Structure 1
Amino acid sequence: MAGSTYGQIAALQPTVPDNVPEYPLSLYRSATKEAQNLYNGRLYYIYDSREDEHQFFIDRKYEKGAVFYDGQRYDSIPMLYDIVKDELVIKHINGFEPIILQTPKVGFFIIYDHNYLNLKSGKDINPEMPTGYYDLIYNGKTKTLARRIKQRQEKINEKKVIALFPQKNFYYVYANGKYNGVHTRKSITRLFPGQKAELRKALREQNIKFRKDRERAIVTMVARYDELTKQ
Structure 2
Amino acid sequence: MLQHAVLVICFAAVFIPGKAQDNVNTPASTPVIAKAGDVYNPFIGKQSRLYNGNEHNGYLFKIIGHAYYKQNELETGSLVYDELEFTNVRMLYDLVKDQVIVLHYNGFTKIGLVSEKVKEFSLFNHHFIRLTADSHSRSSLLTGFYDEVYKGRLNVLVKRGKFIDERVKDELEREFLPLDMFFIEKEGVYHQVKNYKGLLAMLQDRSKEVKQYLRKNRIKYRKGAENAIVKAVVYYDSLNK
The question of a shared fold, defined as TM-score above 0.5 by the shorter chain, is answered with: yes
Asked whether the equivalents of residues 68 and 94 of structure 2 are also in contact (C-alpha less than 8 Å), the reply is: yes
Q: Which moved more, 1:164-173 or 1:41-50?
A: 41-50
Asked whether the equivalents of residues 64 and 176 of structure 2 are also in contact (C-alpha less than 8 Å), the reply is: no
Out of 124, 133, 136, the position equivalent to 1:121 is 133
Q: Matches of residues 43-62 of structure 1 in structure 2 within 5 Å?
A: 43-62=55-74
C-alpha separation between the residues in 1 aligned to 2:73 and 2:176?
16
| Deviation sequence 1:30-59 (CA, Å, 0-9, x none) | 774332010121111111235431111111
Select the structure with the greater relative contact order (CA < 8 A; seq sep ≥ 6).
1
Out of 208, 212, 217, the position equivalent to 2:219 is 208
Out of 77, 83, 95, the position equivalent to 1:83 is 95
Q: CA deviation at 1:158?
A: 4.0
- How many positions carry a matched residue from both structures? 201
Q: Is 1:106 aligned with 2:131?
A: no
Match for residue 185 of structure 2? 174
Unaligned runs of 5+ in 2: 1-40
Unaligned runs of 5+ in 1: 1-28
Q: Over aligned residue pairs, what C-alpha RMSD do you find?
A: 2.3
Asked whether the equivalents of residues 98 and 145 of structure 2 are also in contact (C-alpha less than 8 Å), the reply is: yes
The one-letter amino acid paired with 1:95 is: G
Cα distance change of structure 1 residues 33 and 162 upon mapping to structure 2, 3 Å threshold = farther
Q: Is 1:195 aligned with 2:206?
A: yes
C-alpha separation between the residues in 2 aligned to 1:154 and 1:185?
29
Cα distance change of structure 1 residues 32 and 49 upon mapping to structure 2, 3 Å threshold = farther
C-alpha separation between the residues in 2 aligned to 1:99 and 1:31?
19
The one-letter amino acid paired with 2:92 is: L
C-alpha separation between the residues in 1 aligned to 2:75 and 2:138?
31
TM-score (norm 1): 0.79
The DSSP-based 3-state class of the residue aligned with 1:151 is strand
Cα distance change of structure 1 residues 194 and 106 upon mapping to structure 2, 3 Å threshold = same
Q: Matches of residues 132-171 of structure 1 in structure 2 within 5 Å?
A: 132-159=144-171, 161-171=172-182
Asked whether the equivalents of residues 53 and 111 of structure 2 are also in contact (C-alpha less than 8 Å), the reply is: yes
The DSSP-based 3-state class of the residue aligned with 1:200 is helix
| Deviation sequence 1:48-92 (CA, Å, 0-9, x none) | 235431111111111111111111221111111111111110111
Q: Is 1:73 aligned with 2:85?
A: yes
The DSSP-based 3-state class of the residue aligned with 2:222 is coil
The DSSP-based 3-state class of the residue aligned with 2:237 is helix
Q: Is 1:227 aligned with 2:227?
A: no
The DSSP-based 3-state class of the residue aligned with 1:152 is strand
Aligned identity (percent) is: 29
Asked whether the equivalents of residues 53 and 163 of structure 1 are also in contact (C-alpha less than 8 Å), the reply is: no
Cα distance change of structure 1 residues 32 and 140 upon mapping to structure 2, 3 Å threshold = farther
| CA radius of gyration, larger in | 2
Match for residue 34 of structure 2? none
TM-score (norm 2): 0.76
The DSSP-based 3-state class of the residue aligned with 2:90 is strand
